[in-house]
Amino acid sequence: MLETSEFRDERAELEQVLASGIFNRAPHLHSFLSYVCERYFDGEADKLKEYTIAVEALRRQAGFDPKKDSIVRVEAHRLRRRLAEYYDTKGRNHRVRIAIPCGQYVPQFTYQPANSEAGPESGRTILTAVEPEPAAPASMPADSSSANIPELIPPIQPERSPWIWLVPALLVSFLLAAVYWGTAGATQASINGNETWIGNSAQPVPAEFRMLAGYHGAAFTDRQGRTWNPDAYFTGGVSSNIPSERIIQGTPDPRMLRTQRSGDFSYDIPLRKGVYELRLYFAETEYGLGNPLGGSETARLFTLSINGAEVIRRFDPIAESGGPNRLLVRAFKDISAAPDGKLHLSFGGYRNLGRQTSPAILNAIEVMQSRPGLVHPIRIVTQEHPVTDFEGRSWSSDQFFYGGTLAFHEQRVLSSRDEGLYRGERYGNFAYHIPLASGRYRVTLHFAETWFGTPESNEPGPGSRRFNVFANGAALLQDFDIAKEAGTNREVVRVFENLQPNAQGALWLEFVPLENYALVNAIEVEPME
């Protein structure tokens, strides 16, 4: 058994993690972690099996079959990610850390060196023995290695820091900013009132440029490998953080949209000559059910103008996205700089009966050089990391989704040249809201039945999974049965042409079960020339 002092430390760490709020909207993860740790403390780690966790922690029925229901593996994966994110942020200074190693459900407790902010891999593992011995570093999920975006306003330091260090610290911060921005010398005139970016805005941005509104840290690389720059080229508005407990559905990276700019503000972005695709990212995290300010539709209305022309008069983030705390992207094509060489974006509160509603918001800006009349294709695999296909095309990891569950498997899809596209799937009752500029598009959906009809499932293939697929309410597939179409572990590809975005500037793909769960492995949306 563990020594008493270490036993107390581990229990205290568990209580602190459970009380931290990271599981407020994930009761399954709270139950999962609490259950496996208590079994471990009771000396019953050998009883931590998939079946016992499902029945005793996740309240599945006694007839639960792990071969048919992957809930435990899915929740364990989510828990590993949530713990990794916690120890990258709130818990980074904890002396004791909890991890659930990949491939097992027995918790590991690692002890960090005193005054260290190193990750769990630098600590030692406490073994279930009287005399702890050093162990190999605890492995972490691959997607937890990137640091979270730093907080916009750093925590107040203890008063022991003498004032004499303030001036050098400010000087270093200024020099670092100057190095990053080169001759731009990017600074900000105010942090509490309306803000103005002070810098040389004559140098055009790159052909692909991404920026996080309201963010003033170092450049951030998301899990797609794309770099997002700190906020620049703005006039007016106020920067603010989005609380870490707000989970924004559909984001390409859960660490990305953690700041915003709000108020009446504008951006003047210098562009090279040419035609661009513009994407603006929004997320309503203040109004709506469950958010601090409550309300629903019409709680926030604002206007958007591009190069002086009003393109949206009553923009309502909740109504446009179908609810609060959801990623909302508006895409525009054939965007060029104004005669002064800059792209001018203006955001302002909408006035109704002489009263201005809540302030405008913005979370991110993306501009990409493109061809006239066209936008960049969108390719998505239902996996946590991007995939490159046999033609060298890049498919982004899962994004723009609402509902459903992500699952992974090792079965080979025999008839596919691109097996990598079928390593994961999103299943359940779910939808994708894919942002598109006006125009006509070709949509390709990729499917493979890798469960029903296999020896593991012990159920027949055809007839076991049937579902419908809708695009903006119109049926694309009805009573669709993957196994009936192609058998098990074989790809099924369906192509649909002349689809158009809806009034919200998106293609809403809905996957609705009829028998068991709907699923999809990959989605491709291309403009039709």
Beta carbons within 8 Å of 352's beta carbon, 6+ residues apart = 301
Alpha carbon separation from 347 to 190, 284, 311 (Å, rounded)? 19, 15, 11
Q: Please give the average per-residue pLDDT across 496-509, as a whole number.
A: 95
Q: What percent of the chain shows pLDDT beyond 90?
A: 53
Q: Is the pLDDT of residue 134 over 60?
A: no
Mean pLDDT of 184-194: 49
Every domain range in the chain assigned CATH 2.60.120.430:
183-370, 378-527
Q: Are residues 79 and 22 in contact, defined by beta-carbon separation less than 8 angstroms?
A: no
Tokens of 308: 């002086």
Q: Which residue has the tokens 């593992």?
A: 125
Q: What span, in angstroms and rounded, lies between the C-alpha atoms of 86 and 503? A: 39
Task: With cut-offs at 50, 70 and 90, classify the pLDDT of residue 252.
Answer: confident
| DSSP helix/strand/coil, 436 | coil
Lowest mean pLDDT among 27-31, 59-63, 379-383: 59-63
CATH, domain range 378-527: 2.60.120.430
SS (H, E, C) 138-183: CCCCHHHCCCCCCCCCCCCCCCCCCHHHHHHHHHHHHHHHHHHHHH
Highest mean pLDDT among 141-145, 192-196, 241-245, 507-511: 507-511
Model confidence band, residue 193 (pLDDT cutoffs 50, 70, 90): low
Cβ–Cβ under 8 Å, residues 207 and 368: yes
Question: What pLDDT was estimated at residue 458?
Answer: 79
Q: Higher-confidence residue: 468 or 460? A: 468
Report the pLDDT value the prediction gives residue 246, as an integer from 0 to 100.
85
pLDDT value, residue 151:
40
Q: Which residue has the higher pLDDT, 7 or 419?
A: 419
Q: Is 521 helix (H, G, I), strand (E, B) or coil?
A: coil
Report how far residue 51's alpha carbon sits from residue 54's, in angstroms, rounded to the nearest whole number: 5
- Rounded Cα distance, 243 and 334, in Å: 35
Residue 26: count of CB within 10 angstroms of its CB? 16
**Mean of all residue pLDDT scores within the chain:** 82
Max CA separation in the chain (angstroms): 75
Tell me how far apart the alpha carbons of residues 48 and 105 are, in angstroms, rounded to a whole number.
6
Please give the pLDDT value at position 148: 40
Closest of 329, 328, 326, 382 to residue 518, by C-alpha: 382
For domain 183-370, the CATH architecture is Sandwich (2.60)
pLDDT band at 227 (very low <50, low <70, confident <90, very high): very high
Residue bearing the bigger pLDDT, 447 or 110 = 447
Provide the strand spans (E) within 430-490: 430-435, 441-448, 466-471, 474-480
**Among candidate residues 243, 228, 336, the one with its CA nearest the CA of residue 281:** 228
Q: Residue 114: which pLDDT band, with cuts at 50, 70 and 90?
A: low
The region that residue 68 occupies, defined by phi over 0 for left and psi between -120 and 50 for alpha, beta otherwise, is alpha
- Flag whether pLDDT at 349 surpasses 50: yes
pTM for the model: 0.64
Q: What is the pLDDT of residue 113?
A: 67
| Amino acid 144: pLDDT | 35
